């Protein structure tokens, strides 16, 4: 299939490029497409960290812009300055537990912020949509919660249950509204849980790895029976690259690992891997497992059917889970400074040192 977006000189804005998944996407684009000018647009919230992309910050085709996607004035200014050909939109508030504590922050960034970006594209591209693309990166959580069987397909009706998933679902609807109403050339993907390097240690896998290293309790919500479908973050970045270049305009693609795990089984597996890496006696880390109060409205099971993406665009996950977890554990063990910085706020200092106060 001919790519819809070709590797000619293009200016691609990536929002949320200092976050977990965004940093992997920016790295892939900057290295793979030297003729693209990649503009990383990120507000640097607690989850955004320029250390995540330190290795590519001196590449000539990479530019960082600190901006809040909710600021229409700032986003419009960036659009006039850079004349973007495409936006890959990842910036979001992304943690379910935080959305339960502060839902409006999620409504603001995920709904209003997405609206501001869509509107900027509409205004900028209204005279000529040829070769333009708005790619919205979303989550499988918009589909709600599965029982013991079944999978989410692209046709599964939306049924979000947390403030996070409801805000992402709203943003997905806005994206499709701009497609149908204004003909904006959009494409979207809904992915399962990611894991890998540079993951902020408030999410399950990095939190468990970090707590095992530090001999701290491993808080398992409820009975640990909830199920998630885990995907290596670099495989997600490859899927985004594929969908960005080849996905059908107005299309929607599910991305998943075909890799379902009960939380408690996953934590046991991590304990075994970490015992080996830390040269602890077998069974030592498991003693840290502590059952805690369940998350409110905790979705039981997510499972993605990603056959459309593999059938139409040829993408497949590359890594087996145990291998990916092993690599992830190694990364955290080798990058304890990174963990220390993101948990202590020192990376904010890095930003000021690197870029000055803006």
Catalytic residues: 140-141, 164
Specify whether the CB–CB gap between 121 and 134 falls below 8 A: yes
- Does 168 bind ligand TYD (CB under 6 A)? Our answer is no
Strands 218-221 and 289-292: parallel
Question: Is residue 285 a contact residue for ligand NAD (CB under 6 A)?
Answer: no
- Told to check if 174 binds ligand NAD by CB under 6 A, we report no
Smaller CB separation from ligand TYD, 32 or 300: 300
348 binds ligand NAD (CB under 6 A): no
Q: At closest approach, how far in Å is the CB of 98 from ligand TYD?
A: 9
- Convert residues 38-67 into a mask of x (bound to ligand NAD by CB under 6 A) and - (unbound): ----xxxx-xx-------------------
Q: CB of residue 167 vs ligand TYD: minimum separation in angstroms?
A: 13
How far apart are the C-alpha atoms of 307 and 299, rounded to whole Å? 23
Identify which range of 13-21, 117-125, 148-156, 213-221 contacts ligand NAD by CB under 6 A: 13-21
Q: Which of 10, 27, 37, 168 is close enough to bind ligand NAD by CB under 6 A? A: 168
C-alpha 220/C-alpha 265 separation (Å) is: 11
**Is residue 121 involved in binding ligand NAD (CB under 6 A)?**
no
Least distance to ligand TYD, CB of residue 187, Å? 23
Please count the other Cβ atoms lying within 10 Å of the Cβ belonging to residue 282. Answer: 10
Which tokens go with 131? 């070769």
Q: Which one of 4, 28, 207, 269 is in contact with ligand TYD (CB under 6 A)?
A: 207
3-state secondary structure of 88: strand
Residue 219 binds to ligand TYD (criterion: CB under 6 A):
yes
CB 195 within 8 A of CB 317: no
Q: Which does 191 bind (CB under 5 to 8 A by kind): ligand NAD, ligand TYD, none?
A: ligand NAD
Given 184, 220, 270, 271, the residue binding ligand TYD (CB under 6 A): 220
Q: Segment near ligand TYD (CB under 6 A), from 48-56, 171-179, 219-227, 277-285?
A: 219-227
Total residues contacting ligand TYD by CB under 6 A comes to 12
Instruction: Output phi, psi for 158, to 5 deg.
Output: -70, 140
> Residue 201 gets which letter from DSSP?
T
CB-based burial, 115-153: b 16+ in 10 Å, e otherwise? bbbbbbbbebbeeeeeebbbbbbbbbbbbbbbeeeebbe
How far is 280 from 274, CA to CA, in rounded Å? 8
User: Does residue 96 interact with ligand TYD by CB under 6 A?
Assistant: yes
Which residue, 280 or 298, has its beta carbon nearer to ligand NAD?
298
Contacts of 87 (CB under 8 A, 6+ apart): 12, 13, 14, 15, 117, 121, 133, 134, 135
Q: Cα(337)–Cα(356) distance, rounded to whole angstroms? A: 22
**What does the binding site for ligand TYD look like in residue numbers (CB under 6 A)?**
96, 193, 203-204, 207, 219-221, 226, 228, 263, 295
**What does the binding site for ligand NAD look like in residue numbers (CB under 6 A)?**
15-16, 18-22, 42-45, 47-48, 68-70, 90-94, 109, 113, 137, 139, 168, 191, 193-194, 200
């Amino acid at each position: 299939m001919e790519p819809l977006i070709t590797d000619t000189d293009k200016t691609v804005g990536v929002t949320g490029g200092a976050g977990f998944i965004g940093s992997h996407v920016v790295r892939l684009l900057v290295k793979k497409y030297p003729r693209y000018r990649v503009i990383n647009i990120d507000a640097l919230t607690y989850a955004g960290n320029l250390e995540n992309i330190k290795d590519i910050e001196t590449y000539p085709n990479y530019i960082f812009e600190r901006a809040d996607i909710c600021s229409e004035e700032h986003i419009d200014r960036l659009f006039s300055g850079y004349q973007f050909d495409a936006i890959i939109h990842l910036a979001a508030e992304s943690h379910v537990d935080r959305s339960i504590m502060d839902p409006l922050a999620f409504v603001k960034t995920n709904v209003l912020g997405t609206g501001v970006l869509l509107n900027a594209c509409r205004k900028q591209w209204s005279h000529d949509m040829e070769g333009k693309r708005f790619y919205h990166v979303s989550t499988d959580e918009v589909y709600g919660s599965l029982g013991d069987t079944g999978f989410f397909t692209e046709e599964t009706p939306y049924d979000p249950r947390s403030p996070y998933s409801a805000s992402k679902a709203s943003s997905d609807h806005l994206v499709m509204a701009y497609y149908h109403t204004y003909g904006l050339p959009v494409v979207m993907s809904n992915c399962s849980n990611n894991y890998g390097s540079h993951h902020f240690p408030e999410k399950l896998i990095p939190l468990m790895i970090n707590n095992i290293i530090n001999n701290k309790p491993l808080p398992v919500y409820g009975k640990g029976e909830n199920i998630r479908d885990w995907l290596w973050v670099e495989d997600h970045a490859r899927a985004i690259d594929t969908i960005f270049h080849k996905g059908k305009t107005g299309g929607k693609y599910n991305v998943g690992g075909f890799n379902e795990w009960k939380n408690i089984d996953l934590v046991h597996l991590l304990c075994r891997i970490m015992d080996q890496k830390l040269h602890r006696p077998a069974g030592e880390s498991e003693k840290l497992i502590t059952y805690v109060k369940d998350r409110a409205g905790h979705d039981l099971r997510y499972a993605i059917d990603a056959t459309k993406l593999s059938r139409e665009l040829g993408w497949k996950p590359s890594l087996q889970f145990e291998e990916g977890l092993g690599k992830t554990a190694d990364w955290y063990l080798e990058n304890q400074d990174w963990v220390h910085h993101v948990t202590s706020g020192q990376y904010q200092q890095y930003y000021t040192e690197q870029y000055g106060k803006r």
